[in-house]
Amino acid sequence: MDRYRVRPGTQVDLSAWDPSETAAFDGDKDDGKDALKDLNERLEELQELLWAEHKQRVLIVLQAMDAGGKDGTIRHVFEGVNPQGVRVANFKVPTRKEMAHDYLWRIHRQVPGDGEIVIFNRSHYEDVLVVRVDELVPPEVWGRRYRHINDFERMLTDEGTTIVKFYLHIDLEEQKERFEDRLDEKPWKFSFGDLEKRKQWADYAAAYQDVLAETSTQWAPWYVVPANRKWYRNLVIGSVLVETLEGLDMALPEPEAGLEDVVIE
């Protein structure tokens, strides 16, 4: 999975990343779905261990173009995990109260506590994406936010949070097909605003390239995930998460002394 990790300090050209590739898996779609079931089971075990140990924290950031598959990723990759220790935070248009604070205030309130996995469905990166493309703030404002974000994530990792960030990479044709499916199957989920965002594809691609280049760090790496094929997207993300959790060197807490003598009558 390291092939999809963005190296710190490198420039990113998304046109050089094939959103349809499946090179890291030797098998077809059915094989991939079977492999994902194994990953789901292992992820469930590791999440239970994280919760039981209750010392470490994991933050997962999901970003994508519209129809990129964030909801589907959450539904399939985290199937079977204990909801007691996993939480999803969604970030929509800021409320009046949120707007009265700095842009990271609402983000910090949602970061994981001990034993938790928190999934950001969109995130603080909207404040260097949407605000840039829609020209909501001038370049000198959003431009300095890369540094703010890197410092914020470094503080979180220094305090015991492991951060993994995924950009779900689809192409323009795949988005078209997904929008068409959405219109047919889930029209309630479609809006005219989706069409306006689609017209801004090139601007968003440029903004994402800068985000990936400026904020993929040793302590909070970005992965560019080929996401045209949903089964492969899930497999890549599941694999990265299992590898990440296995690397935390977790252990179950020691039981209370004397439990070996307890008799339940």
C-beta of residue 17 within 8 angstroms of C-beta of residue 222: no
Q: What's the rounded mean pLDDT across residues 34-56?
A: 96
Q: What's the rounded mean pLDDT across residues 69-84?
A: 93
- And the tokens for 190? 């479609």
Q: What's the rounded mean pLDDT across residues 168-174?
A: 97
CA–CA gap between residue 21 and residue 160 (Å, rounded):
34
Percentage of the chain modeled with pLDDT above 70 = 100
- At 185-203, the pLDDT tens digits run 989 988 898 999 999 999 9
SS3 call for 90: strand
- And the tokens for 56? 């470490």
Specify the pTM.
0.95
With b for 16 or more beta-carbon neighbours within 10 A and e for fewer, the 19-58 pattern comes to beebeeeeeeeeebeebbeebbebbbebbbbbbebeebbb
- At 217-238, the pLDDT tens digits run 999 999 999 999 999 999 999 9
Instruction: Residues 2-248: name the CATH superfamily.
Output: P-loop containing nucleotide triphosphate hydrolases (3.40.50.300)
CA–CA gap between residue 37 and residue 91 (Å, rounded):
29
pLDDT at 80 over 90: no
Average pLDDT, rounded, for the chain? 95
